[in-house]
Amino acid sequence: MNAVVDNYQDAVKHFIDVYDGNMMLDLPGPNWNACLIEIGGVITEFFGPFNFMLNTRNGAHWLGVEYEAPMKESRAAVAANNVRIYRDLEVAFHTDPADGFGVDYELYEGTFFGADAPNVQAHDRGADFWRNQHPAGMTGPVGYTHVVADLDAAGTFLENLFGSKRVYDADRPALAARARGYAISDHVVELLEPTGPGPLLTEMMRTGEGIRSLVIGVADLDKARAHFSSKGLPIIAGTLPDSFAIDPEANFGLLFEFALKT
């Protein structure tokens, strides 16, 4: 996952201290500080722009998602779907969020996972650590939620670009929204469309379309909830059934969710 945060140094300390995050790579740059931190088997690149004024309208937010994919096929796929590349690193590229319903898709011909990953300063801890040694019992990525104005159009986009499969439709009455799940690789993207006035429409009017939350699996909801509560994190309702979330106001503006995944 890719996320933009304010107060970068404090945010990084928070995600390491509170979640036992694994600092895998420091990536200082000319325009921002950045790093890779693993939490629950999910690697997030946190970006801290030097001039956060340019991001104050949206505040901290999930910028996008990164997938491992070969460059030749990826470039052909985005071109076929009229998705523009706005940052090209040759071995990786970022797409224009305006062409992806508010999401920057990063495609990378490489990996940060595994004992042989070449471009990290610390390797990932592996599934056994997060599930059996970490007090929250995290079981890897469930997926992420993505707010859109047009569920059908966004779903067709995922089908065409990624070959995604539609796996469920559901109502999310607490958000005044309807949901549709799409399988991509080993996780599920839940598209959320407001059905009328309510929490989701209010959020979308403020920030527009884009990724709303990261969802990490846990083997035991009560155990995980108790652990994060003991860290002083306020717990709120999750989007999915059998889930809970951390209040973004206590999480540097980012919505982390935890859902049952055995």
Q: Please report, for the chain, the start and end positions of each structural domain, with discontinuous segments joined by +.
A: 2-108, 135-260
Reduced to 3 states (helix: H, G, I; strand: E, B; else coil), residue 260 is strand
User: Side chain identity at 24, as an amino acid letter?
Assistant: M
Is residue 82 within 8 Å of residue 89, measured between CB atoms? Answer: no
What span, in angstroms and rounded, lies between the C-alpha atoms of 235 and 201?
Answer: 22
Residue 93: HSE in the Cβ half-sphere, 13 Å Cα cutoff:
19
Cα-based angle 3, 227, 143 (whole degrees, multiple of 5): 40
pLDDT digits 0-9 by tens, 13-57: 999 999 999 999 999 989 999 999 999 999 999 999 998 888 888
CA dihedral 168, 173, 175, 181 (to 10 degrees): 0
pLDDT digits 0-9 by tens, 246-255: 999 999 999 9
Is the pLDDT assigned to residue 187 strictly greater than 90? yes
State mean pLDDT over 167-177.
98
2-108 and 135-260 share one fold: yes
User: Side chain identity at 122, as an amino acid letter?
Assistant: A
pLDDT digits 0-9 by tens, 138-165: 999 999 999 999 999 999 999 999 999 9
Six-digit token string for 44: 């997030």
Is the pLDDT assigned to residue 72 strictly greater than 90? yes
What pTM value is reported for the model?
A: 0.95
CATH superfamily of 2-108: 2,3-Dihydroxybiphenyl 1,2-Dioxygenase, domain 1 (3.10.180.10)
Task: Indicate the range of 51-55, 70-74, 176-180, 253-257 predicted with least confidence.
Answer: 51-55
Six-digit token string for 190: 């839940």
Supply the CATH classification number for the domain 135-260: 3.10.180.10
DSSP 125: -
At 225 the pLDDT is 98
Is the pLDDT assigned to residue 128 strictly greater than 90? yes
